[in-house]
Amino acid sequence: MNKTFLKKLAIASYKNGELDQKTAFKIADRLSKKDLKQYIRIIKASEKAKNIYLTTALGDKNTEKQLKYIFKDKNIIVNQDSSMMLGSRIEINDDIFEMNLKNTLENIIENIDQNND
């Protein structure tokens, strides 16, 4: 089964923008192991595209509110990671926006390494 057909099946698994369990299992029963793996991958990618992952250092609510306002049709999934010290990280599809102190310090180190080699 080719990728285009599996994509069509993945689109057909959704009802009203949500993944329909009955349809998904019905399709999964009829797929080979290799095709099922590909089908799951496509569904995961679709789910990821619907979400925005916000990781904050100190549980900042303001950023979450702003993102909800800008991306009305997306789900905002919030995590906390204190190793970032300050700031946040936003993941939208393939793009990761680093706005935290840990990344800033790593940048400084990289800059010094590059300029003083």
Report the interface residues with other proteins, using CB under 8 A. 3, 41, 45, 93-99, 103-104, 107-108, 111, 114, 117
Count of C-beta atoms within a 10 Å radius of residue 68: 14
The least distance separating other proteins from the CB of residue 104, rounded to whole angstroms, comes to 5
The least distance separating other proteins from the CB of residue 84, rounded to whole angstroms, comes to 13
Q: Which is nearer to other proteins, 2 or 16 (CB)?
A: 2
> Going by DSSP bridges, is the β-strand pair 95-100/87-92 parallel, antiparallel, or unpaired?
antiparallel
Q: Which is nearer to other proteins, 22 or 34 (CB)?
A: 34
Q: Which is nearer to other proteins, 28 or 42 (CB)?
A: 42
Distance, CA of 73 to CA of 96 (rounded, Å): 19
- Using alpha carbons, list the distances in angstroms from residue 59 to 16, 88, 110: 32, 9, 28
| Closest C-alpha among 25, 34, 27 to residue 9 | 27
The least distance separating other proteins from the CB of residue 22, rounded to whole angstroms, comes to 27
Q: Which is nearer to other proteins, 28 or 99 (CB)?
A: 99
Contacts of 96 (CB under 8 A, 6+ apart): 89, 90
The least distance separating other proteins from the CB of residue 94, rounded to whole angstroms, comes to 4
